[in-house]
Amino acid sequence: MSKQTYRVCFCFRRRFRLAATEAPPPVKAMFNNYSDNGVMNVDHFHRFLVEVQKQEKASLEDAQAIMHSTAHIFHRRGFNLETFFKYLLGESNSAFDTNRSVHHDMNAPLSHYFIFTGHNSYLTGNQLSSDCSDVPIIQALHKGVRVIELDIWPNSTKDDVHVLHGGTLTTPVELLKCLKSIKQHAFTASEYPVVITLEDHLTTDLQAKVAKMVHDTFGDMLFTPDTEVLPEFPSPDTLKRRVMISTKPPKEYLKSQETKASGNASQKENDEAWGGEIPSFKSRSAEFKDDFEEEDEEDYQDDSAPAYKNLIAIHAGKGKGGLDDWLTVDPDKVRRLSLSEQELEKAAKTHGQQIVRFTQRNILRVYPKGIRFDSSNYNPLVGWMHGAQMVAFNMQGYGRSLWVMQGMFKANGGCGYVKKPDILINNESIFDPRVQLPCKMVLKVTVYMGEGWYYDFSHTHFDAYSPPDFYTRVGIAGVPADTIMKRTKAIEDNWIPAWNEDFEFSLTVPELALLRIEVHEYDMSEKDDFGGQACLPISELRQGIRAVPLHNQKGEKYKSVKLLMHFDFDFV
């Protein structure tokens, strides 16, 4: 080997060597303020917990327990700088308390909660050609999803029921298999109710068969109302470990068919009768044209499947008329209305407060527009700020919208139900999402440093010849007035970047705000590389100097990657 070659290899090894992680200067200064002669004793640490970490209820015993659990070799006198820094980066000091259990009031009607909702829950990939399976349903339930959507169709011989995305090349899965998997896994992550929304394209004899399947599968787990329609939704607490069915009653389905048969319905009304998605595929695939026409010609009778009608706990349907009729609030009964993301955005421009009023008693489900063939998603805040409980997402998709969805439902112990803020429930003063409110809270954020990429990524993942150049984006997902992203400078050639940068965010509706964090590696010639993300509800963000574990693009937590940050709230 030549001398010149040896120097190149030596340089390569040297540049990828990991430097020791050191506390950034602000953390050293904080340690000095709460220590004496290089030692932070229990009294010092207790004062730090109360004054900096805002843990006002922490006792001296709590401080002692944290100190003992943190240090490998606990100095009998207290923390030194090294062990104090270790505590700050430890799991017990996370910005979000993952051990916190359900703490919202769970005795209000279902309409008072945001509910973790899936769209086409049976699809393994894209909306056009992926497999249908019970596997993504199981995965969703294990992540805390509480609303599972199943599109049910006759099989090829018309004697059984399949789950598939109609009018596409998706391969079917048997309905019974899906139902059995839901029963087995429904309450793995949460004991609060699971709602199964059925997009029904069945003949009456198959509806009766579905009713028997559902009753036989779930038995006493199935919640069925004592009356034909509910005057008010029950609470999540009274529905623990229960399964509910939501779909259009057969009578409403018959009316939609009669409307189409009369020739008076517009194409828009046809779309609504099919749930807003199916006809878009009809026009794209002649192969499935006959199937749609055959379904339209079936003879539906509204009184021939009473067992099917009686199992429906949450009645769905738009009814006749336009938006004003859809949003009518009936004082004697409650129901579910479904709107596509496009329909909601259009309705919000003219009927924003009316939508909020509707969702105080009734349930609004929002679903992705039909052209999202890649299973991408949309901004969930549009639905949430109008009180929509079921903002339905493609859980197999990736991207920032899904990160926000995952962040929202980390709240309330990850049980899949998050109590809506009072502004969306108040009957006396209906929230207007279009009106910009005055600032209610200022969130102050400091991004100190990050670590862990050296262990969780290959050493050439970001750059083949040098350590990465990381920068952090930090901002807010919320109502339009609060939504913003800012970024730090890029730190060149460093596996353990220290930014030490401060940011402030003025929040008008902090109750609906989530903190968004992303780390990227700057690349001059190509697209910046992804280095991790986190999304946390502001309502459950812990103040003080905190560790923020980062997640990959699917929302899975990295083993080692985390940021050290400081959070503080000032209420106006």
Give the integer Cα–Cα distance in Å for 407 and 414: 10
pLDDT value for 167: 87
Give the integer Cα–Cα distance in Å for 467 and 522: 11
Q: Which part of the chain has CATH 2.60.40.150?
A: 441-571
Give the integer Cα–Cα distance in Å for 201 and 286: 19
Task: Report how far Cα 305 is from the mean position of its chain's Cα atoms.
Answer: 36
Maximal C-alpha separation, the chain: 90
What confidence tens digit (pLDDT) does each residue in 191-217 have?
A: 999 999 999 999 999 999 999 999 999
φ, ψ of residue 568 to 5 degrees: the values are -150, 145
> Is the model's pTM score more than 0.85?
yes
Is 315 designated active site? no
Catalytic pick from 46, 119, 351, 386?
Answer: 119
**Angle of helix 175-185 versus helix 135-142 axis, rounded to 10:** 20
The two three-digit tokens of residue 504, written as one number: 């402030």
Which architecture characterizes domain 441-571 according to CATH? Sandwich (2.60)
Asked whether residue 246 carries a pLDDT value surpassing 90, the answer given is yes
Which pairing describes strands 557-571 and 484-487: parallel, antiparallel, or unpaired?
unpaired
Catalytic pick from 46, 104, 162, 165?
Answer: 165
pLDDT value for 16: 54
What confidence tens digit (pLDDT) does each residue in 256-287 have?
A: 445 544 444 333 333 333 333 333 333 333 33
> Given this structure, which CATH class describes domain 110-424?
alpha beta
Asked whether residue 365 carries a pLDDT value surpassing 80, the answer given is yes
The two three-digit tokens of residue 570, written as one number: 């000032």
Q: Which part of the chain has CATH 3.20.20.190?
A: 110-424
Is 119 designated active site? yes
Query: Do 451 and 136 contact (CB within 8 A), yes or no?
Result: no
Give the integer Cα–Cα distance in Å for 467 and 119: 41
